[in-house]
């Protein structure tokens, strides 16, 4: 009683000091409560009190490897922050990302919202509100199905033809060094332009990053990836009104390109008084415009759909392709095995010079290589965060109270030794051809390459359509040699949500028994 009286007396005598002390006391109480709430979980000491450690991991560009090391030290469940828990056991995928009762996305995704008009708008990928997500996804989901995408194959073929022609003309005859990583990403961007707008962005013809689209998207992710670890940073640092004003509330080059194509198509429809909605083989924009005209969708839906294809539909494929080619070129025995399979299929008239989807899907070693590339180097390098629903849940044998943020990183889950073997840190396509059907199915179910459940990436079928076709086509037409480090071939990986690579430098030449020779004959 005496102590309380003393505190009250001091508060009355020094009201300003008392007012300043209140938030400090509240902060201490909140920190103590947060610490004890998840104190039964292992993890780095500082991560129990602050998100600064996981912010610094992303800042280092090496968060994926740090996450793997932490899980190997502490086990399948690790405390990454005061209220954030990382899960490494693939057996928990169905609970956290299940179809029946999906757990809601955390504030991690607010920083990843698209900004086609300068301000954030909901998108299919980053929307936290499940109703908004359903509203945006339901009308367009059919356009992203594999059965529908096959009708887009001619768009991919036309871009593949340009790609091969440019590689041949620029690099195949004079031993000039080719930045294959850059060209694979430019190919992916131009494919998305064709699929979405029937118009390439022009990367392949110019051999350049047109209007800085690729660079601007990567620059944006370098900032927003940091804000995902401390979501309040998006409001006070990245996307506050002052910064929006200073950048002119402008759109990114990718968003600008998308919205310019939308306006061109609208003007065309007005001037000709007709559309192509009755045609099956038509691009995404035509389908988007029809949906926007016939269905009750939010006013921002069209810009969100069009912009998301450009800003999110190319980098993932570029990363995947770079991983695949780098892995094959650094493991020549697997490259030889794949080329033998492709040549055998071509000899049996089961593979065209410009490979088709139906032909490549029947090639088991190509399929194994593509699965292994997505396992070894998934495009997304941070945990897919969700919020534990009421009343709480048991994950990896530990009770997590409602409101706890949990997430699984594909990089961690894909290195589960119990599922993928003791050699899970290295390239081994053969793992997808051994172990029996049950084991292979379990390994496939453990993949988080494009997420899982209802919120998995809708564009994954586009990526697979491109990859199966272009890998088979390029390896039959060209031979590739890696440029050694002494000549500049330094492989570099940076993780800022997308796990980007640089340094895939090659010299290429036309194969004497290649698809291009077959075309000439």
**For the chain, how many residues are written?**
521
Cβ distance 419 to 442 under 8 Å? Answer: yes
Which residues have C-beta within 8 Å of that of residue 156, sequence separation ≥ 6?
191, 194, 195, 465, 466, 469
Q: Which of 203, 496, 219, 191 is nearest to 314 (CA)?
A: 191
Which residues have C-beta within 8 Å of that of residue 344, sequence separation ≥ 6?
none
For 228, phi and psi rounded to 5 degrees?
-65, -25
Number of other residues whose CB lies within 10 A of the CB of residue 391? 7
Q: What angle do CA 263, 267, 269 make, to 5 degrees?
A: 120
CA 44, 45, 47, 48 torsion: positive or negative?
positive
Torsion of CA 320, 347, 333, 433, to 10 degrees: 70
Q: Which residues of 353-374 are buried (b: 16+ CB within 10 A; e: fewer)?
A: bbbbbebbeebebbbbbbbbbb
Torsion of CA 428, 434, 440, 446, to 10 degrees: -30
User: Known binder of ligand: residue 164?
Assistant: no
The structure tokens 């993780």 sit at 495
Across 106-181, where does the E strand assignment appear? 178-179
Q: Which of 197, 150, 190 is nearest to 166 (CA)?
A: 190
Residue list for the binding site: 457
| Binding-site annotation: residue ranges for heme | 457
């Amino acid at each position: 009683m005496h102590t309380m009286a003393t505190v009250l007396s001091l508060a009355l005598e020094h009201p300003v000091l008392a007012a300043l002390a209140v938030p400090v006391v509240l902060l201490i109480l909140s920190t103590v409560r947060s610490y004890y709430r998840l104190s039964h979980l292992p993890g780095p000491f500082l991560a129990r009190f602050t998100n600064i450690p996981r912010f610094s991991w992303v800042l280092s560009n090496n968060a994926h490897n740090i996450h793997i090391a932490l899980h190997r030290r502490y086990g399948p469940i690790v405390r990454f922050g005061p209220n954030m828990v990382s899960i490494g056991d693939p057996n928990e995928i169905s609970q956290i990302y299940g179809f029946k009762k999906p757990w809601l996305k955390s504030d991690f995704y607010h920083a990843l919202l698209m900004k086609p008009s300068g301000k954030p708008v909901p998108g299919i990928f980053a929307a936290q509100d499940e109703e908004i997500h359903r509203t945006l996804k339901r009308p367009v989901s059919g356009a992203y199905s594999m059965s529908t995408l096959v009708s887009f194959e001619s768009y991919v073929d036309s871009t593949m033809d340009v790609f091969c022609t440019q590689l041949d003309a620029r690099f195949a005859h004079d031993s000039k060094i080719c930045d294959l990583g850059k060209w694979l990403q430019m190919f992916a961007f131009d494919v998305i332009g064709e699929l979405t707008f029937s118009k390439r962005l022009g990367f392949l013809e110019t051999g350049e990053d047109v209007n800085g689209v690729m660079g601007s998207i990567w620059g944006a992710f370098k900032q927003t990836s940091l804000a995902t670890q401390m979501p309040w940073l998006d409001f006070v640092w990245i996307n506050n009104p002052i910064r929006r004003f200073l950048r002119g509330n402008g759109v990114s080059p990718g968003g600008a390109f998308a919205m310019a194509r939308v306006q061109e198509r609208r003007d065309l429809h007005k001037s000709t008084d007709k559309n192509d909605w009755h045609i099956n083989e038509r691009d995404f924009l035509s389908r988007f415009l029809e949906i926007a005209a016939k269905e009750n969708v939010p006013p921002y839906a069209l810009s969100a759909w069009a912009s998301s294809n450009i800003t999110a539909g190319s980098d993932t494929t570029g990363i995947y392709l770079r991983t695949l080619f780098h892995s094959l070129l650094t493991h020549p025995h697997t490259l030889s095995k794949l080329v033998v399979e492709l040549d055998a299929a071509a000899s049996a008239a089961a593979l065209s010079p410009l490979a088709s989807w139906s032909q490549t899907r029947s090639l088991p070693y190509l399929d194994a290589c593509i699965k292994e590339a997505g396992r070894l180097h998934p495009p997304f390098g941070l945990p897919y965060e969700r919020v534990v629903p009421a009343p709480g849940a048991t994950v990896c044998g530990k009770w997590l109270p409602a409101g706890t943020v949990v997430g699984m990183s594909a990089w961690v889950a894909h290195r589960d030794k119990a599922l993928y073997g003791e050699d899970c840190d290295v390239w081994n396509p053969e793992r997808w051809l051994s172990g029996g059907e049950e084991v292979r199915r379990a390994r496939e179910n453990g993949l988080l390459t494009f997420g899982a459940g209802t919120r998995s990436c809708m564009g994954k079928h586009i990526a697979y359509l491109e990859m199966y076709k272009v890998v088979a086509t390029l390896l039959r037409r060209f031979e590739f040699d890696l440029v050694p480090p002494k000549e500049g071939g330094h492989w570099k990986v940076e993780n800022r949500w997308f796990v980007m690579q640089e340094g895939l430098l090659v010299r290429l030449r036309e194969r004497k028994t290649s698809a291009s020779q077959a075309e000439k004959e």
